[in-house]
């Protein structure tokens, strides 16, 4: 006699679910979940509809001491002239310019119109500096505005700006001053001011990590005015950016995603489960930078140093209850790897290349594309960044300046901590929700603290 065993659907589902759970537990710590696991949490719901529905307790707004404050009168006699030399990507040059304005005011110097140079950002071994005058399409953004009367007029009362140098100065080359180790007020006063007084004309690039909190308020006010009230896109680029903005399906979230080969190589992090093409691209970009291995790699990841993959980003967005049918504008450079990890979950993703005409896009330099991303991101309904680089900081600050508070920076450190603890699936989702909810409630990371003050809502 043949005995027929009937397998009920519920039992089959249970077996499949258990198999999936065991597979997830066996995954590597450096790649703690898969596409399958992401779909397991897609139906999880939190008490709030999404992260933006959480009530804020604090917010960052421009401080009144620089926005509406009464500044001391500029000294009649200047100590000399300073030219700020700005290098790198658009947002890096913007930061250098703003810091340079603050330093020039600190030293009671007259600011000479700056010099801008473009450089490969991540790989210092292959820098190719090109002056802006040789590339008219390179800085068609805020930086051109520095040379215009409107920007100079906005800086009146904050700092002296020289459109032309006096003859006895114009005939000289500025004395280059190394400021790589100058971090704060007394560094510049004790080491740079004597050189300024001696030579009367110096050039400098501000150190990347400035202690602006130690500046007197009049120097900080000049920096803040230069960054947030004075700098503007050129009319031609703002027109192009506005056209791009209008072409994006509304409302939309601007997502700044960083997972390019150079970025991953620079981070010195390793990932499992990447496609052969991505692995090859990363290896080609590594050069002498070898990835961390063993315990140092684990510590590096726990410190939040490893860029989030598109797959991990989609997981966190779902954890924050961002609907999968959300319109997303991808504010990112060329060459993002593993994009299917995001677009297989969030299907309404648009990019510059998909919205701009082919000819327009091909003619654009990387800095022009970055300026378009900047404009779209500061005006979007919401903004989420997977990193906290120069663009993320300035976009967060400008959104706070404009009163747009749906801004969030995803926590790589929290993600690494929770996955190292063995959290997976729904547990990981809930933990990421709580971590980002707390950040959003406290208003952390929404603006640069140098020019903004915390207000209780």
**Statement: residue 426 has pLDDT above 80:** yes
Write out the E strands in 119-258. 130-131, 161-162, 175-176, 201-204, 253-256
Q: How far apart are CA 399 and CA 377, in angstroms?
A: 8
Arithmetic mean of pLDDT over the chain: 82
Domain ranges in the chain are 31-59+236-259+307-456, 65-232
Residue 312's closest CA among 390, 396, 419, 436?
419
Q: How far apart are CA 102 and CA 206, in angstroms?
A: 10
- Say which range, 8-17, 92-101, 255-264, 354-363, has the weakest mean pLDDT: 8-17
* % of residues, the chain, pLDDT over 70: 81
Tokens 């906005």 belong to: 154
- The answer to whether 31-59+236-259+307-456 and 65-232 have equal CATH topology is yes
What is 31-59+236-259+307-456's CATH topology?
Rossmann fold (3.40.50)
SS3 assignment for 267-287? HCCCCCCCCHHHHHHHHHHHC
Q: How far apart are CA 310 and CA 441, in angstroms?
A: 25
Mean predicted confidence (pLDDT) in 251-276:
95
In terms of pTM, does the model score above 0.85?
Answer: no
Q: Where is mean pLDDT largest: 326-330, 364-368, 438-442?
A: 326-330
Predicted confidence at residue 26, as pLDDT, reads 38
Predicted confidence at residue 445, as pLDDT, reads 60
Contact 283, 245 (CB under 8 A): no
Q: What is the pLDDT of residues 67-81, one digit of tens each?
A: 877 788 999 999 999
Taking domain 65-232, whether its CATH number is 2.60.40 is answered by no
Q: What is the pLDDT of residues 125-141, one digit of tens each?
A: 322 232 222 222 233 34
Give the other-Cβ count within 10 Å of 422's Cβ.
11
Radius of gyration from C-alpha coordinates of the chain: 25
What is each CA distance from 124 to 215, 266, 269, in whole angstroms? 31, 11, 18
Mean predicted confidence (pLDDT) in 274-296:
94
**Statement: residue 328 has pLDDT above 90:** yes
In terms of pLDDT, which residue wins out, 252 or 448?
252
């Amino acid at each position: 006699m043949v005995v027929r065993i009937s397998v009920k659907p519920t039992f089959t589902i249970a077996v499949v679910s258990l198999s999936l759970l065991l597979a997830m537990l066996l995954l590597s710590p450096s790649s703690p979940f898969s596409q399958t696991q992401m779909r397991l949490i897609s139906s999880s719901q939190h008490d709030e509809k999404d992260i933006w529905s959480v009530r804020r307790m604090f917010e960052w707004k421009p401080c009144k001491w620089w926005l509406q404050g009464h500044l001391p009168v500029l000294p009649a006699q200047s100590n000399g002239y300073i030219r700020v030399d700005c290098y790198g990507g658009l947002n890096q040059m913007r930061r250098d310019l703003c810091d340079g304005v603050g330093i020039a005011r600190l030293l009671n110097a007259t600011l000479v119109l700056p010099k801008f140079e473009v450089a490969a950002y991540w790989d210092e071994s292959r820098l190719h500096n090109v002056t802006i005058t040789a590339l008219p399409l390179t800085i068609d953004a805020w930086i051109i505005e520095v040379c215009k009367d409107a920007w100079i007029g906005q800086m009146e009362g904050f700092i002296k700006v020289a459109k032309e140098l006096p003859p006895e100065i114009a005939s000289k080359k500025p004395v280059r001053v190394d400021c790589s180790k100058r971090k704060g007020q007394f560094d510049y006063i004790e080491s740079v001011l004597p050189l300024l007084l001696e030579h009367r004309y110096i050039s400098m690039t501000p150190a990347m990590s400035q202690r602006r909190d130690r500046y007197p308020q009049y120097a900080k006010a000049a920096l803040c005015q230069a960054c947030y009230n004075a700098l503007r896109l050129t009319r031609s680029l703002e027109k192009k950016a506005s056209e791009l903005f209008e072409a994006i399906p509304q409302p939309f979230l601007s997502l700044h995603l960083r997972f390019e080969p150079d970025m991953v190589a620079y981070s010195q992090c390793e990932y499992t489960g990447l496609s052969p093409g991505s692995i090859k691209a990363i290896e080609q970009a590594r050069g002498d930078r070898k990835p961390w291995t063993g315990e140092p790699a684990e510590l590096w990841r726990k410190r939040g140093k490893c860029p989030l993959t598109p797959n991990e980003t989609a997981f966190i967005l779902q954890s924050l209850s961002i609907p999968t049918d959300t319109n997303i504008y991808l504010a990112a450079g060329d060459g993002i790897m593993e994009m299917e990890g995001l677009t297989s979950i969030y299907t309404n993703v648009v990019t510059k290349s998909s919205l701009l005409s082919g000819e327009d896009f091909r003619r654009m330099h990387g800095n022009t594309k970055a300026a378009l991303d900047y404009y779209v991101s500061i005006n979007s309904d919401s903004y989420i960044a997977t990193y906290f680089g120069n663009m993320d900081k300035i976009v967060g600050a400008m959104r706070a300046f404009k009163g747009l508070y749906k801004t969030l920076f995803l926590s790589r450190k929290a993600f690494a901590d929770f996955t190292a603890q063995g959290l997976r699936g729904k547990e990981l989702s809930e933990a990421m929700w709580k971590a980002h909810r707390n950040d959003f409630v406290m208003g952390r990371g929404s603006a640069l603290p140098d020019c903004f003050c915390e207000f209780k809502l």
